[in-house]
C-alpha cells in the first residue's frame, strides 16, 4: 500500500498536464498557441522597454568625467592633485569622489569611443532587468505581468540611464545592496559580508553611497527592533561596511565630505527639485507606488519590518529630488515585486493550467535582445548631442581653439566641463559641474550672479583674472554684458557669445578668426565629433 501513495498524489498533476494532448483536441492547441503568442508578446514588450533605454546622449557632466578619467589613466591614477582647469580654485584640494566611475568610462572610451560607452551602459541596463526578471520569476510572476510592472519603472529609469554618468554604476551598486539585504532576511546572513566590498567600490564611484549606507543602517535597526535583540552576525558585517567608506585615496575625509554636502540645497539644478506629480515621471511614480503598495497590502507572503522600512524610505526619495526616481524604481521592483506577484495571482488567477511551451523561452530571449539594436540601427553607438535645451557652445569654443587663445573664461556652470574637454587647460574656466568638490561658495555665487544678472552680477568682471566671458545668447548675463562698459562682444552665434575686455589683444585675435563650419549648438554631432583638448584639430577646421 505504501508504494501506491505517490501514484494517488501524482495523478491529478499528470491529468492536468495530459489534458487535451490528443491529436484531435483543437481546444488544447488553441490554448498552447495563445500561451505562445502571449509569451512572445511579453518578450517583445521587454525588448521595447530595453530599446527605450538603449539610446544615449551627452550631458553637461560627461565631458568632465571622461577628461578627468583620461587624466587619471595618464597620470598613473593619482586623484588627489591640484585642479589645473579653473582659475578660481586657488589650488584648493579637489576631492574627486567619482574616481572609479571616471576610470571605467575613460577606459571604455579609449577602447572603443562612444560605442563602447553605450555598450557599457546597456550592459548595466541588461543586468538590472535580468535581476528584476530573476526576482519576479522566482516569486511566480508571469512574463506579461513582469512587463506591465516594469513599464512605469522604465519611465522612471529613462532620465538617469539616457546618458553615461557615475549614477549608472550607483544604480547597479544600489541594486546589489538591496539584494544582499533581501537575501539576508531570507536566512542568508553570511552574504552580509558582501556589503563591505560593495561600499568600498561605491564610495569611490558616486556620492549616493551615503544613501546606501544609510539604508543598510536602517535595515539593521529595523531588524534589531523586530528581533528585540542584538545580533552579532548582523552588526559585525554592517559595521565593517560602514568602515569600508574610508577605503579611498582621501581616507576619512571622503565620507566626511559626502555627509557634509549631502544636504546642500541646489535650487539651480532641476534634478534636485521634487518630482512633479503632473509630469510623465510623476505619473509613472504614482502608478508604480500604487501597484507596489497594493501588492504589499494584499500579499500572503511574509512582510518583514526591515523590508518595509527600506521600502518606505525609498518611496520618499522622489519627493525629495527628481534624480532619485531611478533608485525608487529599482527599490520598488526588488522590495515589493514578490508581493505584487502574490497579490496578482490572488486577484487575477490564470484560467488554465497549461504548461508554457518550451520555445517561448527562446522567443523571449530573441525578442528582448534583438529588439533594441534593430530599433536603433546605426545610431546605437552614437552618444548624441541633442542641441536645443541641452546645447553646448560648440562653434564658439571651436573658434577659440582655432584662434589659439589661452585665457581665463567665465562660463555658465553647464558649459564648464565642455570647455575643459575641448580646450582645457589652455582655457581655464570660472566654474563647472564639479561644484562643491573643488569650488568655494563664493566662486559659485559670483559665477551664477554673472550668468543670471542677479545681485552683484559684475563681481566676477572686477576680478582682474577674468579675461573672457562666454555667455548663453538671450540670457540675462548676455544682455547685461552687451551694455557693460569696458567689455565688447567679439563673437556671437545662435547659441553663445564671447566678450573680451576693450582693447584686449584676445578680442582682436578672436575677431580675425573664421568660425569653423559646425552647428552652433552641436546638434546632431556624436561625442567623437568634438575632439578632446590636445587630441586633434577642431572638427570642421580642415585640420588646421
Looking at the predicted structure, is the pLDDT value of residue 492 above 90? yes
Contact 374, 502 (CB under 8 A): no
pLDDT tens-place string over residues 64-119: 999 999 988 887 655 556 788 999 987 677 888 899 999 999 999 999 888 899 88
Q: What is the pLDDT of residue 9?
A: 39
Phi and psi angles of residue 35, each rounded to the nearest 5 degrees, phi first? -65, -40
User: Which segments of 54-165 does DSSP mark as H helices, in order?
Assistant: 62-75, 99-138, 143-161
Nearest to 57 by CA among 382, 417, 374: 382
Q: What is the pTM of this model?
A: 0.82
Contact 114, 382 (CB under 8 A): yes
Contact 47, 367 (CB under 8 A): yes
**Lowest mean pLDDT across 48-62, 126-140, 246-260:** 48-62
Long-range CB contacts for residues 504-509, cutoff 8 Å, separation at least 24: 504/467, 506/405, 506/407, 506/467, 506/468, 509/403, 509/404, 509/405
Cα 87 to chain centroid distance, Å, stands at 30
Span between the terminal Cα atoms of the chain, in Å: 94
Looking at the predicted structure, is the pLDDT value of residue 523 above 70? yes
Name the residue ranges covered by the structural domains of the chain. Answer: 35-57+114-379, 394-529
Q: Match 567665465 to its residue by C-alpha cell.
A: 410
Tell me the average pLDDT across 150-166.
85
Greatest alpha-carbon pair distance for the chain in Å reads 109
Burial 202-231 (b: 16+ CB within 10 A, else e): bbbbbbbbbbbbebbebbbebbbeeeeeee
Contact 395, 495 (CB under 8 A): yes
Rounded to an integer, what distance in angstroms lies between the CA atom of residue 245 and that of residue 115?
33
Query: If pLDDT is split at 50, 70 and 90, which confidence band does 249 have?
Result: confident
Q: Match 549606507 to its residue by C-alpha cell.
A: 213
Looking at the predicted structure, is the pLDDT value of residue 446 above 70? yes
Rounded to an integer, what distance in angstroms lies between the CA atom of residue 217 and that of residue 211?
10
Q: Match 580642415 to its residue by C-alpha cell.
A: 542
pLDDT tens-place string over residues 356-376: 444 545 555 555 555 555 544
User: Which segments of 262-389 does DSSP mark as H helices, in order?
Assistant: 280-298, 305-320, 325-347, 359-376
Query: If pLDDT is split at 50, 70 and 90, which confidence band does 514 have?
Result: very high
Query: If pLDDT is split at 50, 70 and 90, which confidence band does 268 have?
Result: low
Rounded to an integer, what distance in angstroms lies between the CA atom of residue 158 and that of residue 531?
27
Cell readout for 198 is 560593495
pLDDT tens-place string over residues 125-144: 888 888 988 888 888 887 77
Considering only residues 435 and 265, tell me which one the structure prediction assigns the higher pLDDT: 435
Q: What is the pLDDT of residue 36?
A: 63
Work out the mean pLDDT of the chain and round it to a whole number: 82
Rounded to an integer, what distance in angstroms lies between the CA atom of residue 363 and that of residue 381?
25
pLDDT tens-place string over residues 294-346: 988 898 888 899 999 999 999 999 998 888 899 999 999 999 988 888 888 88
Entry field: residues in the chain: 544
Tell me the average pLDDT across 249-277.
81
Phi and psi angles of residue 120, each rounded to the nearest 5 degrees, phi first? -65, -45
Q: What is the pLDDT of residue 6?
A: 42
Contact 327, 287 (CB under 8 A): no
Cell readout for 159 is 532620465
**What contacts 67, CB < 8 A, 6 or more positions away?**
417, 420, 421, 424, 532, 533
For domain 394-529, which architecture applies? 3-Layer(aba) Sandwich (3.40)
Amino acid at each position: 500500500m505504501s508504494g501506491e501513495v505517490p501514484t494517488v498524489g501524482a495523478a491529478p498533476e499528470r491529468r492536468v498536464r495530459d489534458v487535451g494532448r490528443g491529436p484531435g483536441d483543437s481546444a488544447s492547441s488553441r490554448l498552447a498557441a495563445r500561451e505562445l503568442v502571449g509569451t512572445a508578446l511579453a518578450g517583445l514588450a521587454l525588448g521595447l522597454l530595453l530599446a527605450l533605454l538603449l539610446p544615449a546622449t551627452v550631458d553637461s557632466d560627461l565631458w568632465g568625467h571622461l577628461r578627468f578619467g583620461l587624466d587619471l589613466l595618464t597620470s598613473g591614477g593619482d586623484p588627489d592633485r591640484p585642479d589645473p582647469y579653473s582659475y578660481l580654485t586657488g589650488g584648493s584640494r579637489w576631492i574627486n569622489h567619482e574616481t572609479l566611475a571616471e576610470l571605467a568610462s575613460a577606459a571604455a572610451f579609449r577602447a572603443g569611443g562612444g560605442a563602447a560607452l553605450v555598450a557599457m551602459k546597456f550592459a548595466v541596463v541588461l543586468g538590472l532587468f535580468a535581476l528584476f526578471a530573476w526576482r519576479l520569476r522566482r516569486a511566480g510572476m508571469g512574463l506579461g505581468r513582469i512587463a506591465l510592472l516594469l513599464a512605469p519603472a522604465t519611465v522612471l529609469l529613462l532620465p538617469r540611464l539616457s546618458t553615461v554618468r557615475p549614477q549608472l554604476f550607483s544604480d547597479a551598486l544600489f541594486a546589489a545592496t538591496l539584494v544582499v539585504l533581501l537575501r539576508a532576511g531570507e536566512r542568508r546572513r553570511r552574504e552580509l559580508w558582501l556589503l563591505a566590498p560593495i561600499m568600498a567600490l561605491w564610495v569611490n564611484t558616486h556620492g549616493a553611497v551615503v544613501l546606501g549606507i544609510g539604508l543598510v543602517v536602517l535595515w539593521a535597526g529595523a531588524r534589531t527592533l523586530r528581533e528585540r535583540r542584538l545580533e552579532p552576525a548582523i552588526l559585525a558585517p554592517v559595521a565593517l561596511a560602514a568602515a569600508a567608506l574610508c577605503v579611498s585615496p582621501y581616507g576619512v575625509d571622503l565620507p566626511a565630505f559626502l555627509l557634509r554636502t549631502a544636504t546642500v540645497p541646489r535650487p539651480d539644478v532641476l534634478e534636485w527639485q521634487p518630482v512633479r506629480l503632473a509630469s510623465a515621471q510623476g505619473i509613472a511614480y504614482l502608478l508604480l507606488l500604487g501597484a507596489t503598495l497594493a501588492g504589499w497590502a494584499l500579499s500572503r507572503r511574509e512582510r518583514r519590518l526591515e523590508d518595509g522600512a527600506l521600502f518606505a524610505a525609498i518611496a520618499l526619495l522622489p519627493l525629495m529630488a527628481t534624480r532619485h526616481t531611478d533608485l525608487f524604481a529599482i527599490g520598488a521592483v526588488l522590495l515589493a515585486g514578490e508581493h505584487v506577484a502574490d497579490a496578482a495571482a490572488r486577484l487575477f488567477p490564470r484560467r488554465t493550467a497549461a504548461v508554457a511551451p518550451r520555445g517561448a523561452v527562446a522567443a523571449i530571449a530573441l525578442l528582448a535582445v534583438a529588439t533594441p539594436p534593430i530599433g536603433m540601427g546605426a545610431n546605437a553607438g552614437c552618444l548624441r548631442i541633442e542641441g536645443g535645451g541641452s546645447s553646448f557652445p560648440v562653434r564658439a569654443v571651436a573658434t577659440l581653439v582655432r584662434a589659439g587663445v589661452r585665457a581665463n573664461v567665465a562660463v555658465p556652470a553647464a558649459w564648464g566641463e565642455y570647455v575643459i574637454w575641448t580646450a582645457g587647460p589652455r582655457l581655464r574656466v570660472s566654474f563647472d559641474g564639479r561644484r562643491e568638490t573643488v569650488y568655494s561658495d563664493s566662486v559659485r555665487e559670483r559665477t551664477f550672479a554673472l550668468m543670471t544678472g542677479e545681485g552683484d552680477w559684475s563681481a566676477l568682471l572686477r576680478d582682474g583674472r577674468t579675461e573672457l566671458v562666454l555667455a548663453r545668447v538671450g540670457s540675462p548675463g548676455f544682455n547685461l554684458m552687451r551694455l557693460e562698459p569696458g567689455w565688447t562682444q567679439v563673437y556671437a552665434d545662435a547659441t553663445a557669445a564671447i566678450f573680451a575686455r576693450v582693447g584686449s589683444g584676445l578680442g582682436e585675435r578672436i575677431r580675425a578668426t573664421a568660425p569653423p563650419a559646425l552647428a552652433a549648438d552641436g546638434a546632431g554631432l556624436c561625442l567623437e565629433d568634438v575632439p578632446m583638448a590636445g587630441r586633434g584639430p577642431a572638427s570642421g577646421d580642415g585640420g588646421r
